[in-house]
Amino acid sequence: MAEPSPAKVYSTGGLYRRWLGPILANDQGLDPEQLTQAALSALSQTSLRRDWPGVSAVLAAIALDLQRHDLRLEQVLFGCRFRNPVGLAAGFDKNGVAASIWDRFGFGFAELGTVTWHGQTGNPRPRLFRLAAEQAALNRMGFNNNGAEVMRRTLEKQALPSPGQRPAVLGLNLGKSRITPLEQAPDDYALSLELLAPLADYAVINVSSPNTPGLRDLQDASQLRRLVERLRRLQGCPPLLVKIAPDLEDDAIDGLARLAYEEGLAGVIAVNTSLDRFGLDGRVLPKTGRSLAEEAGGLSGAPLRQRALEVLRRLRATAGPALPLIGVGGIDSPEAAWERISAGASLVQLYTGWIFKGPDLVPNILDGLIGQLDRHGFRHVSEAVGSGVPWQ
């Protein structure tokens, strides 16, 4: 076998594959949560020191490697200018520690959180598991985060440009504190949003995580309407989106689409992690010795791809083209991203696929989207949204 070229080995993606590839190819070994925390610690220090000469030079090299600039990929949605349609999904940068540098990794936007009003430790460990062969993960984190007040200080310390003036749009994903009773959820969400709204380009109401008891009950139309109306009353409320579960029945998906339209929501994010095991019920986690059927938590990654696509198509069919949709779940290739855009997503988000495939996934997707625009004769990515045109 020929030796890889130095450019490939020492590119951002090449280094990632060389050092982390063997770890990510194995279910066991270094705990995925510890690995994530180590990465975020390094990213946090980098974000705070991004203007230091040595650090800024490294970030510039990463940006040169991973960013793509093409006016055909730029969009203005719900008042936000997205330089490209690929974003980092909520759940990775829970506390916003790297908020100022996600654009360097090629992302057009990043969603911070999930953040709750009360800081909380989340569920007992172990609570995050790799399924390497399936390019998937099981998590039952339970909204572990430092709380809204700490996030505000963290973001202020990074001296971010004002909303609308950032190289990457920053969204804020809000959840309910575990200790807050369900009937008090609107006030709990409102406290977080009121404090953090001045720092957010948009905000997401997360009512779909499977790892906080009772949270998914807030997807009920009457409950969600009450929550949305409470948040909309806040002064300076940013554009509001809602993130939904993949496990909803069709009638519930239709109802949420209608509610989003009636309440003037900025968009819907489809989907969160799933309680479905997608035929992997008997798959055993080496760390616990139990099967996926026996384990609590939400499944993400490649097994979720088809269901996420089905939910997106349903939303598009019910809501029509006026409601912006963000596709997430099982997007790990340019083809998967195009599939979601063609089905009606104006934007897509990455998490599990980005972890397994590495930082090259973002520019690979952007290059792939540009190639598809050329092949199909589209002048702009917005023309591809909901077109139903397959990958060529």
**Closest Cα partner for 73 from 366, 360, 348?**
366
Q: Beta strand pairing status for 75-77 and 80-82?
A: antiparallel
Instruction: Please give the pLDDT value at position 326.
Output: 98
**Mean pLDDT, residues 144-156 taken together:** 98
**Bind-site residues for substrate:** 94, 139-143, 206, 211, 272-273
CA atoms of 376 and 10, how far apart (whole Å)? 34
Instruction: Please give the pLDDT value at position 304.
Output: 98
Instruction: Please give the pLDDT value at position 271.
Output: 98
Residue 13: DSSP 8-state: H
Q: How many residues does the chain have?
A: 392
What is the average pLDDT value for the chain, to the nearest integer? Answer: 96
Report whether pLDDT(7) > 50. no
Instruction: Please give the pLDDT value at position 1.
Output: 39
Instruction: Please give the pLDDT value at position 25.
Output: 96
Instruction: Please give the pLDDT value at position 32.
Output: 97
List residues with catalytic annotation: 209
What region does 91 belong to: left with phi over 0, alpha with psi -120 to 50, or beta? left
The model's pLDDT over 344-362, given as tens digits with 9 standing for 90+, comes to 999 999 999 999 999 999 9
The model's pLDDT over 230-285, given as tens digits with 9 standing for 90+, comes to 999 999 999 999 999 999 999 999 999 999 999 999 999 999 999 999 999 999 99
**Bind-site residues for FMN:** 90-94, 114, 173, 206, 243, 271, 301, 330, 351-352
The model's pLDDT over 306-321, given as tens digits with 9 standing for 90+, comes to 999 999 999 999 999 9
Question: Among the residues of 72-220, which ranges form H helices?
Answer: 148-157, 185-196
Helix (H) or strand (E) holding 128: strand 128-131
Report whether pLDDT(9) > 60. no
Pick from 7-11, 168-172, 224-228, 250-254: least confident = 7-11
If pLDDT is split at 50, 70 and 90, which confidence band does 227 have?
A: very high
- Expressed in angstroms, the distance from the first to the final Cα of the chain is 30
Q: What's the pTM value of the predicted model, to 2 decimals? A: 0.96
**Mean pLDDT, residues 128-137 taken together:** 98
**pLDDT above 70: percentage of residues in the chain:** 97
Report whether pLDDT(8) > 60. no
Q: Two tokens at 356?
A: 């397994």
Q: Two tokens at 209?
A: 């995580």
Q: Two tokens at 234?
A: 């806040």
If pLDDT is split at 50, 70 and 90, which confidence band does 90 have?
A: very high
Q: Which CATH number fits domain 4-382: 1.10.1660.10, 3.40.50.20, 3.40.920.10, 3.20.20.70?
A: 3.20.20.70
**Mean pLDDT, residues 370-392 taken together:** 98
If pLDDT is split at 50, 70 and 90, which confidence band does 20 have?
A: very high
If pLDDT is split at 50, 70 and 90, which confidence band does 172 have?
A: very high
